[in-house]
Amino acid sequence: MRILFFGDIVGEAGRKAISLALPSLKEKYKPDFVIANAENATHGKGLSYAHYNYLIQAGCDCLTLGNHWRSKASIDDYIDDASDLVRPLNVKGDAKGKGSVSFDVGGIEVRVTNLLGTMLMRDQEDSPFERFNDLLGKTKPCIHIVDFHAETTSEKAMFAHMFDGSVSVIVGTHTHVQTNDAKILENGTAFISDLGMCGDPDGVIGFEKNSVINHMVFGEKTHFELNPKARKMINAAVIDVDDMTYSAKSITAINFILEDK
Ligand SMILES: [Fe+2]
Ligand SMILES: [Fe+2]
């Protein structure tokens, strides 16, 4: 089983990067299953129904989310019917949608789970360690892919080592910066601290640099903006998993900027 997993899609540059790059990436890598983190796909925060459809039609088989999963409240209207959309499992209380979803990929079960970290995160959710342990107790072994959406590399590494051998793949998302540590852990789980981002490579984590500086440094009451003329970057990883043992065989990070056309 070959999996192609894209880091956080940020705004229009990210959405277009996916739709422009995915046909040639499918040709080159021949993935069996394509996943993307879409928590920032709509204007940098949240996921509208239109953009959910756009990314599925562009060729994604599954979309994961993160701390911005409900930044567009309209997600409540469609998430229960979106069987390929996975929101964080460990949100507090009752929530619409699912935090772990099982897919049939050519007769092989692939499960995708989304979790939120707690270190340096504004919203304090349930412990991802406890909630994930509970989930493992209720699900049968399969190719299990975890998107651990968190701020710190240390929390991601702790999680990965704790569940090494229990799942096939653990990728970090949320920081929008790809880390250079893709590897297979001791007990066969593929891991990278952060997949990075699909979007504008020239701003601050996908947003136009001056709008972020003016807001964060000079306290201007303005919003982060997206650059409509942004270049388009792809950050992702290609992961091969053994269909029989569910152990990962390889993980390779991908990072490139699309040529202007
Ligand atoms: Fe993000
Ligand atoms: Fe995030």
* Phi/psi at 99 (5° precision): -95, -5
Give the span between the Cα atoms of 89 and 149, in whole angstroms: 11
243 Cα to the center of ligand 1, angstroms = 30
Catalytic residue of the set 43, 51, 68, 223: 68
68 Cα to the center of ligand 1, angstroms = 7
Mean pLDDT computed over 190-206: 98
CB neighbours of residue 166 within 10 Å: 17
Output the pLDDT for position 35: 99
* Phi/psi at 126 (5° precision): -65, 160
pLDDT tens-place string over residues 36-45? 999 999 999 9
Mean pLDDT computed over 181-199: 98
Ligand nearest to the CA of 206: 1
Q: What is the mean pLDDT of the chain?
A: 97
99 Cα to the center of ligand 2, angstroms = 15
Evaluate if residue 177 carries a pLDDT over 80.
yes
Count CA atoms within 13 Å of residue 24 on its CB side: 7
Output the pLDDT for position 122: 87
117 Cα to the center of ligand 2, angstroms = 10
Mean pLDDT computed over 111-126: 94
Output the pLDDT for position 234: 98
Ligand nearest to the CA of 38: 1
Question: Is the Cβ–Cβ distance between 160 and 186 less than 8 Å?
Answer: no
210 Cα to the center of ligand 2, angstroms = 21
- Per CATH, the number for 2-257 is 3.60.21.10
Beta strand ranges found along the chain (DSSP E)? 2-6, 8-9, 33-37, 62-64, 85-86, 100-105, 108-116, 143-149, 169-173, 183-184, 190-192, 197-198, 233-241, 248-257
Question: Is the Cβ–Cβ distance between 40 and 69 less than 8 Å?
Answer: no
Give catalytic status of residue 149 as yes or no. no
Ligand nearest to the CA of 37: 1
Output the pLDDT for position 67: 97
22 Cα to the center of ligand 1, angstroms = 20
Output the pLDDT for position 222: 83
Report residue 127 as tokens.
């412990």
Report residue 60 as tokens.
């994604």
Mean pLDDT computed over 129-147: 98
Mean pLDDT computed over 55-78: 97
pLDDT tens-place string over residues 223-242? 899 999 999 999 999 999 99
Q: Percentage of the chain surpassing pLDDT 70?
A: 100
Evaluate if residue 28 carries a pLDDT over 80.
yes
User: C-alpha distances in angstroms, 60 versus 15, 56, 137, 210, 216?
Assistant: 11, 5, 29, 32, 34
Output the pLDDT for position 123: 84
Output the pLDDT for position 261: 58
Mean pLDDT computed over 106-117: 98
Among residues 24, 10, 3, 8, the alpha carbon closest in space to that of 203 is found at 10
Evaluate if residue 66 carries a pLDDT over 70.
yes
106 Cα to the center of ligand 1, angstroms = 30
Per the confidence metrics, is the pTM higher than 0.95?
A: yes
CB neighbours of residue 181 within 10 Å: 14
Give the span between the Cα atoms of 67 and 115, in whole angstroms: 9
Ligand nearest to the CA of 149: 2
Give the span between the Cα atoms of 234 and 196, in whole angstroms: 8
